[in-house]
Amino acid sequence: MCGIFAVSGERNDAGSMVLKGLKKLEYRGYDSWGIAVREGEKIDVEKQVGKISGVKQKFPPATEAMGHTRWATHGGVTKENAHPHQVGKVTLVHNGIFENYLEAKKSLDDWKFHSETDTEVIAALLDREIQGGKNTAEAIRAVAEKIEGRFAILVMVEGEPGIWAARRGSPLILGRGETETFIASDIPAFLEYTTTVNYLDDGEMVHIHGAQANFSNLKTGTPVDKRNITVDWTTEEAEKGEFAHFMIKEIFEQKQTIIRAINHEDEKLRQAAALLKQANGVYFIACGTAHKVAAAAEYFFADISGRKINVVPAGEMPYFERFVHEGTALIAISQSGETADVLEVLERGKKKGAKILSITNVETSSVARIADAHLPIFAGPEKAVASTKAATAQMALCFLLAHADAEMRERGSINRGREILRTTASSINDLLNPRYEEHVRDVAEKIVDRPNLFIIGRGALYPMALEAAIKIQEVSYIHAQGFAAGELKHGPIALIENRVPCLVLGDDPETVSNAMELKARGARIIGIAPTPAEVFDEWLRVPDCNGSQAIASIIPVQILAYHLAILKGLDPDMPRNLAKSVTVK
């Protein structure tokens, strides 16, 4: 949610470096952008509405610059609302939400606001503190105290070299070059310059100037020591390469990512499973696609280890919070590990003594760091907004975790689970080829003009029907809805008429007869299953995966969603209104 990037160094092209870095963060927000460049005593700001990807802007020579790609929260998509915001000597970019900004704004009646944003209020508060005699560090600390909500800010002050950053909740990572320092909301922004990073933790601030970075506590100002960490991400992983879009690249990467996700020592899996076993109530907490993964995990655990787990979308957890206490296990699934709703549940749960296990793609994310135990999925950077490879990797890991849970009673269960997943991964490898993609594209051509689409599945394929709907909605903007296979006839079947496409996940007799009920009302049936039932008008083959069918069955839908978007002339990597990492509530 909003991309932030800054550089302070010796090279004289800081403006273009920031432009380039922001293009790599565009998946975080893409309705407008802006860059501030320090030119001697002055700070020049360039802002524009629209995507940054095609921009070819020239900047004056400078060694320091910072910028922002926006995902609008306060105020529409206008040049005035784009960041950076300038008030007096202060230039500021911001990710997050200043929840009590209206109240704070009332105390600033001497400043005429140019935007509708909460960000400009932070800039105005800072400028006032500086004018009142505080140095910049003191001013940032004082203003941070006034902000309710999560935020990450970067600040440049006229006539004062260096860039300040502070965070509470929203991610910021420093890249440490030999002669320069970068600050970004995600690593790909500076990956071509350095793989040495420092994570700015919650409640910390930093001042960078050239290769120098001085960290301190955001409340007390006490200096903080940081360890340099080397990340093993490669620039290729973070680039599209020969693929037209990140989404299709990441779909094809599932050839390797499912195997990578299960690359955990048995002991580590056993320890994670022990956390569940000792728990007094287990809650899987996640949002969006990750929540559908958790819902599939509910079926895996019921089937494999006989454990009933509770699956709650993070935003709904406040209604069940009375059941969280010492001894409750909260299992957070999150690709980014920065989703605000998830983090909030974990923070509140931790205070009550709950134990936390996290399953994320970013090992150093806030979710992973708050957890008592962490299982990374090792999927590599996922940049398309629509989650694909992370979702199947999370599912594979949950499937294996259910086997680790069963191992307590049934020796050899982890090995059996791993064997099933290896076979699944190898059959997915066979599936993901250009011929299969072509076939899915043909099916997409036949249904692309249809405004509504339904998906059914039962068992663990029911949450996959819900996930299929998310994938299709978010990239193709076709109205898609998923249902438990037996549920459609309890109401929604009234919506079925001639040529309405229905994706049927599975070929078991009950699901096939549900498909027949739909076909009898004119639906066009697209079967996604190991065998071609007679009722299918189109058949997208998936391998028979022995309990892990959910993992394989979502892949054709991902490809279908991608091609529906392409056929409609849409950019599947940057769907409207969405951003990759939802760091606001």
- State the Cα–Cα distance between residues 229 and 219, nearest whole angstrom: 25
Beta bridge partners of 169: 151
Q: Residue 218 or residue 472: which is nearer to ligand F6R going by CB? A: 472
Q: Residue 488 or residue 557: which is nearer to ligand F6R going by CB? A: 557
Please tell me whether residue 290 binds ligand F6R under the rule CB under 6 A: yes
Least Å distance between CB 512 and ligand F6R? 29
Of residues 344, 474, 538, 573, which one binds ligand F6R by CB under 6 A? Answer: 474
Residues of this chain, 313-352, that bind ligand F6R according to CB under 6 A: 334-336, 339, 342
> Is the distance from CB of 200 to CB of 187 less than 8 angstroms?
no
Of residues 312, 359, 582, 584, which one binds ligand F6R by CB under 6 A? Answer: 582
Please tell me whether residue 583 binds ligand F6R under the rule CB under 6 A: no
- State the Cα–Cα distance between residues 133 and 139, nearest whole angstrom: 9
Please tell me whether residue 183 binds ligand F6R under the rule CB under 6 A: no
> Is the distance from CB of 50 to CB of 60 less than 8 angstroms?
no
Please tell me whether residue 289 binds ligand F6R under the rule CB under 6 A: yes
Q: Give me the helices (H) in 479-534, please.
A: 509-519
- Catalytic site includes residue 398: no
Please tell me whether residue 496 binds ligand F6R under the rule CB under 6 A: no
- State the Cα–Cα distance between residues 132 and 89, nearest whole angstrom: 13
Least Å distance between CB 333 and ligand F6R? 7
Catalytic residue among 24, 105, 580, 585: 580
> Is the distance from CB of 293 to CB of 286 less than 8 angstroms?
yes
Which DSSP helix (H) or strand (E) runs through 549?
Answer: helix 549-567
Size of the site for ligand F6R (CB under 6 A): 15
Name the nearest CA neighbour of 25 among 97, 83, 109.
Answer: 83
Q: Residue 93 or residue 287: which is nearer to ligand F6R going by CB? A: 287
Please tell me whether residue 470 binds ligand F6R under the rule CB under 6 A: yes
- Catalytic site includes residue 580: yes
Q: Residue 544 or residue 571: which is nearer to ligand F6R going by CB? A: 571
Residues of this chain, 53-92, that bind ligand F6R according to CB under 6 A: none
Least Å distance between CB 334 and ligand F6R? 3
Given the rule CB under 6 A, which of 283-291, 433-441, 498-506, 544-552 is the region that contacts ligand F6R?
Answer: 283-291
Least Å distance between CB 470 and ligand F6R? 5
* Positive or negative: CA dihedral 11, 29, 104, 218: negative
Please tell me whether residue 165 binds ligand F6R under the rule CB under 6 A: no
Least Å distance between CB 289 and ligand F6R? 3
Of residues 16, 387, 476, 481, which one binds ligand F6R by CB under 6 A? Answer: 387
- State the Cα–Cα distance between residues 389 and 382, nearest whole angstrom: 7
Least Å distance between CB 565 and ligand F6R? 12
Please tell me whether residue 386 binds ligand F6R under the rule CB under 6 A: yes
> Is the distance from CB of 418 to CB of 400 less than 8 angstroms?
yes
Report the residue number whose CB is nearest to ligand F6R: 288
Question: Which amino acid appears at position 486 of this protein?
Answer: G
Q: Residue 69 or residue 334: which is nearer to ligand F6R going by CB? A: 334
Build a one-symbol-per-residue string for 243-282: x at contacts with ligand F6R by CB under 6 A, - elsewhere: ----------------------------------------
Compute CA distances 291 → 165, 223, 467, 470, 520, whole Å. 32, 39, 9, 11, 33
The 3-state DSSP class for residue 183 equals strand
499 phi, psi to nearest 5 deg: 70, 15
Please tell me whether residue 366 binds ligand F6R under the rule CB under 6 A: no
Question: Which amino acid appears at position 88 of this protein?
Answer: G
Pairing between strand 64-70 and 310-313? unpaired
* Positive or negative: CA dihedral 274, 276, 281, 285: positive
Residue 3's Cβ-side half-sphere holds a number of Cα atoms within 13 Å equal to 32
186 phi, psi to nearest 5 deg: -155, 155
Q: Residue 180 or residue 573: which is nearer to ligand F6R going by CB? A: 573
Least Å distance between CB 293 and ligand F6R? 8
- Exposure b/e, 241-271, CB count within 10 A at least 16 = b: eeeebbbbbbbbbbbbbbbbbbebeeeebee
Q: Residue 181 or residue 581: which is nearer to ligand F6R going by CB? A: 581
- State the Cα–Cα distance between residues 543 and 69, nearest whole angstrom: 41
Of residues 72, 121, 287, 504, which one binds ligand F6R by CB under 6 A? Answer: 287
Least Å distance between CB 473 and ligand F6R? 9
Q: How many CB atoms lie within 10 A of CB 228?
A: 9
Dmax (CA) of the chain: 79
Of residues 288, 376, 459, 482, which one binds ligand F6R by CB under 6 A? Answer: 288
Catalytic residue among 2, 287, 398, 545: 2
Catalytic residues: 2, 580
Chain residues binding ligand F6R by CB under 6 A are: 287-290, 334-336, 339, 342, 386-387, 470, 474, 581-582
